[in-house]
Amino acid sequence: MVPSPHKIVWNNCLNIIKDNIQPSSFSTWFEPIVPLKLKSNVLTIEVPSHFFREYIEEHFIDLLGHSIRKELGSTAKLEYCVKVDSHSKGMPLPQQGQAQFQNKTIPFSRINRDEVASPYVIPGIRQLKIDPQLNAAYSFDNFVEGPCNRLARTAGLSIAEKPGGPFNPLFVYGGSGLGKTHLGQAIGIEIKKLMPEKIVLYVSANLFQIQFMDAANVKNKLTDFMHFYQMIDVLIIDDVQDFAGKPGTQNAYFNIFNHLHQSGKQLILTSDKAPVDLKDLDDRLLSRFKWGLSAELQSPDYATRLAILEKKCYNEGVEVPREVLEFIASQLTTNIREIEGTFWSLLAQSTFNKQPVTLKLAQGIIDSLVNTTPREVSVQDIQKTVCSYFGITQDVLLSKTRKREICQARQIAMYLSRNMTKNSLSSIGSMIGGKDHATVLHSCNTVCNLMDTDRMFRQYVTDIEKRLKNG
């Protein structure tokens, strides 16, 4: 695959920048930037907000200028395209979508252009034009279906065909990097496709909160804020757990929710926790979240992980040896964002170092980037952690007692020993009170089945696994 020139140039710049700043600054301020085009010596990059642009100019302009000049020569120019301006404009309220040009004297020329207008209202005309803040890449086409997301995906598709129907609100929850944002956006995109006249708005809970705070302090602005949100047909709020501990924002959303729901408008929420586990959220709000459908996004199984990687290859038009895809899918099991990150690094490294995509390269990336090299965990570590998690002694764990809780703890210890160590079934068995290999295998299967059917049980296993991984 030959990547486009703007991507090559930008990636070379990133390599220089990366060597000169802290990794955390790099991931915060440079990873979100998307190179858009390169025309003669003008490189256009997309930044998420004005605030973001101002910040990088204030802090990294010399480095940025140096790296771009190194790539494109002394006449190099950088053009910013600000995609969504969340901070300086606050809420998506009246604003004419005019391009603004600013010029400061900086070490190299810069053209600054707002390409995507924020939502605006034309005064005196009831017709409302709102940028739904949707990213075309997050479509249903790109959302691979698997057992981990089937319910949520199907509900999402059904909402897209008939917003305001039985699944209202739709509450999508699951861990980080499992596709909540993607799915919320996909529903919005699909609705806009099928019903362009619908007013769809995607907004993170965080941005909603910033807008609310901004409005709450200024006369009349709060009314505008409420009116604005009450005009939406499909309101997608991402990461609603961020409302925790913010009663004012919750109250505003509660009123908006009621208004929209009563008018048959569709509400979609995503959260990193199930409604029952959302502490610090108003009960009135929580009870409403349960009115419609709650659907969980779970960690993808191997086949889905592989299908996601294959889809990426297809979309990017690249060929990656199947064994490499299988390797990534087998190593990164819990977070799709990490799987994607590894995929991108692999392509980037192979292109820039002119190396073929090999298993070895993939292994190196997984080790360095995601740092998922499993910590050396022993059967003893596992038994100890299981005991401390359930508050039992090791003697009890290894005893012959058939008490249900103890049996389950024992089975979890065997299951984790099998998944996290290289010990054979029979050695795992002998270390847990002289069981044979068939008993260990049976225990592992029991744990798998229980994890599928019992949410609480699944939580135990994931918690213990996390503790072990984090040392």
Q: Which residues bind Mg ion (CB under 5 A)?
A: 180-181
Give dist(CA 176, CA 191) in Å, integer.
25
Can you tell me the distance from the alpha carbon of 449 to that of 451, in angstroms, rounded to the nearest whole number? 5
Near ligand ADP in 38-97, by CB under 6 A: none
Decide: is 273 part of the binding site for ligand ADP (CB under 6 A).
Answer: no
The answer to the question of residue 336 lying near ligand ADP (CB under 6 A) is yes
Residue 35 lies near ligand ADP (rule: CB under 6 A) = no
Q: Give the separation between CA 110 and CA 273, rounded to whole angstroms.
A: 43
In the set 89, 162, 340, 389, which binds ligand ADP (CB under 6 A)? 340
Segment interacting with ligand ADP, rule: CB under 6 A, options 71-79, 248-256, 336-344, 436-444: 336-344
Cβ-based nearer residue to Mg ion, 35 or 184: 184
Residue nearer to Mg ion on the CB measure, 37 or 273: 273
Q: What are the residues whose beta carbons fall under 8 Å from the beta carbon of 423, sequence distance 6 or more?
A: 379, 417, 431
Q: Which long-range contacts (CB under 8 A, 24 or more apart) does 190-194 make?
A: 190/139, 190/140, 190/156, 190/157, 190/160, 191/159, 191/160, 191/163, 191/234, 191/266, 192/132, 192/134, 194/160, 194/161
Distance CA 366, CA 325 (A): 12
* Residue 342 touches ligand ADP, criterion: CB under 6 A: no
- Interface with ligand ADP includes 337 (CB under 6 A)? yes
Our finding on whether 240 is near ligand ADP (CB under 6 A) is: no
- Binding residue (CB under 6 A) for ligand ADP from 178, 191, 232, 237: 178
Complex with Mg ion: residue 6 or 180, whichever CB lies closer: 180
Is 180 among the residues that bind ligand ADP (CB under 6 A)?
yes
Q: Which does 143 bind (CB under 5 to 8 A by kind): Mg ion, ligand ADP, none?
A: ligand ADP
> How far, in whole angstroms, is CA 360 from its chain's centroid?
27
Taking the complex as a whole, how short is the minimal distance between the CB of residue 279 and ligand ADP, in angstroms? Answer: 20
Query: In the bound complex, what is the minimum distance in angstroms from residue 136's beta carbon to ligand ADP?
Result: 12
Stretch that binds ligand ADP, among 138-146, 186-194, 260-268, 324-332 (CB under 6 A): 138-146
Smallest distance, ligand ADP to C-beta of residue 466, A: 17
Q: Which helix (H) or strand (E) holds 294?
A: strand 293-297
Number of residues engaging ligand ADP in binding (CB under 6 A)? 17
> Residue 78 or 236: which CB sits closer to ligand ADP?
236
How many C-beta atoms lie closer than 10 Å to residue 91's C-beta?
23
- The verdict on 305 binding ligand ADP (CB under 6 A) reads no
Structure tokens at 300: 């993808």
- How many C-beta neighbours within 10 Å does residue 167 have? 22
| Spatial distance between the Cα atoms of 378 and 334, rounded to a whole number of angstroms | 21
Q: DSSP string of 147-188? A: TTTHHHHHHHHHHHHSTTSSS-SEEEEESTTSSHHHHHHHHH
Task: Give the closest residue to 81 by CA, choosing from 123, 127, 45, 50.
Answer: 45
Nearest distance from C-beta of residue 138 to ligand ADP, angstroms: 6
Using CB under 6 A as the binding rule, whether residue 282 contacts ligand ADP is answered as: no
Please report how close the Cβ of residue 453 comes to ligand ADP at its closest, in angstroms. 22
Contact 188, 234 (CB under 8 A): yes
CB of residue 239 vs Mg ion: minimum separation in angstroms?
Answer: 6
Contacts of 244 (CB under 8 A, 6+ apart): 278, 279, 280, 281
Residue closest to ligand ADP when measured from CB atoms: 179
Structure tokens at 9: 């140039």
CB of residue 241 vs Mg ion: minimum separation in angstroms? 11
Q: Which residues bind ligand ADP (CB under 6 A)?
A: 138, 142-144, 149, 174, 176-182, 308, 336-337, 340
